[in-house]
Amino acid sequence: MSSTECRGRRSPTALRLLWAAGLVGALAAGCAGRGVGADPPSALWRESPGRGYTLHYAQGHRADARDVARRVDKGRREVEAFFGSPCPRAFDLRVFPDRASLTAVWRQAWGAPEFEPQCWMVASGTASALAILSPSAWKTEACEHDPEDRQATQKLITHELVHVYHGQVNPDPEFDGAEEIGWFVEGLAVLASGQLDEKRLARARAAVAAGKGPARLQDAWSGPDRYGIAGSLVSYLDRAQGRATLLRLMKLTSNGEILAALGLTEEELLSRGRAALTSGPGAAPRG
């Protein structure tokens, strides 16, 4: 969630929780589960066809939904430019006017009636849908996100759209079993959305220099520096092996498959990623 990310049905430690706004990034929580596929039955909802998606929004909130849709349009262009091809298929864009309606749908979609989202969880993205709490509600119903920071908000939405695209080319479209490769799923979204900025890179470098870098791939998307750590690792692969390699890796579902495709051991990949982070350039070009 964004901390965007709550995709799973596991405890708020599983990957998707970490995914929900694409920014999740902070907890090791994860709700990576099934896609958000239905509007709340208790609300009056409207649908509006978009370019490559169907916009769903609550009655009386059309202006807010349209604002999100414009950002989604921009984000889609950026994502498709990064990967070099259009999103494979259409998806649902669901804009929720308040925390309660978003939480209700997440609980139903993930089969977790007791789930209580952290305040920073504002969005989730899988192959079938991008669900987001309207930025107009962030000041009162979310934390760690400033709706007036349009650049950060755009990157958050673009991050989730990377998950949508990734889910559509992956055998596990809703990322139900993706905790193991969370470093790649999230690192890719950090890189492609433009969130791998110098500030995050500097923090990641400091963490590695202090001996706090991950000893295992599955730990790369955890802790306060997860954006820089996971993002820089994927950025290294992008620079060292090319965008075509990232596209191939997006179709894989385990670290074993990824390492075999790269021809590297886990330690070799982590070691090379650390070296690139501490001595190499910053983020690779997004396009």
- 155-172 confidence digits (pLDDT tens): 999 999 999 999 999 999
- Residue 165 · residue 155 · CB < 8 Å: no
Q: What is the pLDDT of residue 51?
A: 83
Tokens of 25: 């990034």
Q: What is the pLDDT of residue 16?
A: 46
Q: What is the pLDDT of residue 15?
A: 41
Average pLDDT, rounded, for the chain: 86
In the predicted model, is pLDDT for residue 281 greater than 50?
A: yes
- Tens digit of pLDDT for each residue in 92-139? 999 999 999 999 999 998 889 999 999 999 999 999 999 999 999 999
CA distance linking residue 280 with residue 274, whole number of Å:
9
- Give domain limits for the chain: 4-169, 179-279
Specify the DSSP class assigned to residue 217.
G
CA distance linking residue 104 with residue 116, whole number of Å:
10
CATH architecture of 4-169: 2-Layer Sandwich (3.30)
CA distance linking residue 69 with residue 107, whole number of Å:
24
pLDDT confidence tier of residue 1, bands split at 50, 70 and 90: very low
* Strand blocks (E) in the chain: 4-5, 19-20, 45-49, 53-58, 91-96, 123-125, 129-133
In the predicted model, is pLDDT for residue 19 greater than 50?
A: no
Least confident of 15-24, 206-215, 247-256: 15-24
Q: Give strand pairing partners of 125.
A: 130
In the predicted model, is pLDDT for residue 39 greater than 70?
A: no
Average pLDDT of the residues in 29-37: 45
pTM: 0.86
Q: What is the pLDDT of residue 178?
A: 86
**pLDDT > 70: what percent of the chain?**
82
Q: What is the pLDDT of residue 37?
A: 57
Residue with tokens 């990967």: 83
Q: What is the pLDDT of residue 183?
A: 98
pLDDT confidence tier of residue 30, bands split at 50, 70 and 90: very low
- Tens digit of pLDDT for each residue in 49-97? 878 999 999 999 999 999 999 999 999 999 999 999 999 999 999 999 9
Tokens of 232: 């820089």
Average pLDDT of the residues in 242-267: 98
Average pLDDT of the residues in 243-269: 98
Q: How far is CA 55 from the centre of its chain?
A: 19
Of the candidates 34, 18, 9, the one whose C-alpha atom is nearest the C-alpha of residue 182 is 18
CA distance linking residue 145 with residue 150, whole number of Å:
10
Residues 6+ apart with CB under 8 A from 251: 169, 170, 171
47 versus 236: the higher-pLDDT residue is 236
